[in-house]
Amino acid sequence: MSKLLIIHTGGTIAMEEDKDSGAVSPGKNNPLNTTLNQLLTGDDVLIDDFINIPSPHMTPEMMFAIAERIETKIKEEPIRGIVITHGTDTLEETAYLLDLVLQTDLPVVVTGAMRSSNELGSDGPYNLLSSIKVASCQEAKGKGVLVVLNDEIHTAKNVTKTHTSNVSTFQSPQYGPIGIVTKQRVFFHHTLTVRDRYHISGLTKKVMLLKAYAGMDSKLLIAVAELGIDGIVIEALGQGNLPPDMMDGIKHLRAKGIAIVMVSRCFNGIVQDVYGYKGGGKHLKEQGVIFSNGLNGQKARLKLLVTLEATEDDSELHNFFLR
């Protein structure tokens, strides 16, 4: 009999609020396991208390370790689906990195909560139940890593946290959810046309993320070039433009062979090489800057970490970021 694999990593969904101080923090025992005992039989679920950390403590190396753990578990025994519980601050990053590197087509669902387990209106148990429904659903196979909260199903590629505290914080700008969860069943109404994934053995590169602002110059770019980085992602202005005083820094990075990926600090639209002035998109493209196809900064950083393991060829990297 196949089992549902539940991997706990911590986060608010596994925390409790101290009624005296109001502080929310991890406890000795994960309250989600009590919930799971009420929802599933012991023969039906495999619970893996992998780590119990706040999501700001999550690293790409830990994310990759989760992927390795999943691949190992599904080789050891029959698994029909995977649910990962996670803190919301970096949930979208873990989901996206898993989407890039996992080779399985089994349903993989990442979920979390905005309210801790003992707060009034806690959303954790309900999100967990919804995620179990999706991970057990045949239609979820082959759709990549999914993020399920607040009755909605989102792709790891497009979802992002949009509000600091609201329970409907996870949205997919431009695209919306690809499905919904009801009391009776799971409904998918569209899906991504391409699954973008890479077979790598680890994460060894260093990639930084910077955000452009009006009047920015080259000082930060020249400084980070001396830190031994392999790549940098810049959240640019508008459609992919930078202040002109940044161009010396861009040329300095490229002369050192450092890959530069451009995204927009806007959360809708994609970057394009439209403008021909100094610092404009066409000027940046001529310098070998890679334009991403709609990813936000934090996800573009993860993709560059992954793709640099696969190749350091500029033309291949350009093609990877068009997907």
Residue of 12, 85, 88, 160 marked active site: 12
Q: What does the longest C-alpha to C-alpha distance in the chain come to?
A: 64
Query: What gap in Å lies between CA 218 and CA 106, rounded to an integer?
Result: 46
SS3 8: strand
Q: How far apart are CA 255 and CA 90, in angstroms?
A: 33
Q: How far apart are alpha carbons 127 and 251 in whole angstroms?
A: 47
Is 12 an annotated catalytic residue?
yes
Burial of 157 (0-12, 13-18, 19+ CB in 10 A): buried
Among 262, 305, 231, 230, smallest CA distance to 67 is for 305
Answer whether 77's CB lies under 8 Å from 46's CB: yes
| Cα gap 64→83, rounded to integer Å | 16
Closest CA to 186 of 153, 157, 155, 159: 153
Cα 225 from chain centroid? Answer: 26
Of 249, 166, 251, which is closest to residue 212 (Cα–Cα)? Answer: 249
- Cα–Cα distance for residue pair 247/297, rounded to 1 Å: 20
Amino acid letter at 150? N
H-helix or E-strand containing 76?
helix 60-76
Q: At what angle do helices 91-101 and 60-76 cross, to 10 degrees?
A: 50
* Chain-centre distance for alpha carbon 114: 17
Question: Tokens 């995977």 map to which residue?
Answer: 82
Where in the sequence numbering do the catalytic residues fall?
A: 12
